[in-house]
Amino acid sequence: MNYTLLCTFDNYIPAHITLGRLEEEGINCWLQDENTVTVTPMFSNAVGGIKLMVAEPHYPRAAELLKEFTAEQKKNMACPQCGSTNVEFISTPRKASNWIGAVFGFLFGDYALAVDKVYHCFNCGNEFENVQTDENPVNS
């Protein structure tokens, strides 16, 4: 049976959640490069992340379900500043502590720049650490 790439992940947790939800719907799918990315996360970009592969006959239904899952997830996230649901979890090197650490690292032989993961609102540009949901309201 031939398989087609449906989407990629940089972390095994959302990959397994999506895999499980698709399998519950009877979709034949599996994760490619999961072990490589999980054991050695720095190889994630080199191998293209964890790939969710779907059997070709199931691809249209899987793509439809993935859109539903994504819409459901976005509906449950809101920016505490403007209330928009156009929010994503991203990596950012913008915090001052990250840059100070990079300077010390450069001086003492480590050239890596630390990054933090934050939620970013693409409507107002606000970056925040906690997502406002119905179950977990964030006090503004």
Domain boundary among 75, 93, 110: 75
Residue 104: C-alpha distances to residues 107, 111, 113, 139 (Å) = 5, 9, 10, 35
Model confidence pLDDT, tens digit, residues 8-63: 998 899 999 999 999 999 999 999 999 999 998 888 889 999 999 999 999 999 99
26 and 86, same domain (yes or no) = no
Which tens digits make up the pLDDT trace of 97-109? 555 666 666 666 6
Give the pLDDT confidence score for residue 140 in this predicted structure. Answer: 38
CA nearest 61: which of 97, 93, 31, 24?
A: 24
Mean pLDDT of 113-129: 80
Q: Does 71 lie in the same domain as 8? A: yes
The verdict on 86 and 135 lying in the same domain is yes
Residue 109: domain span? 76-140
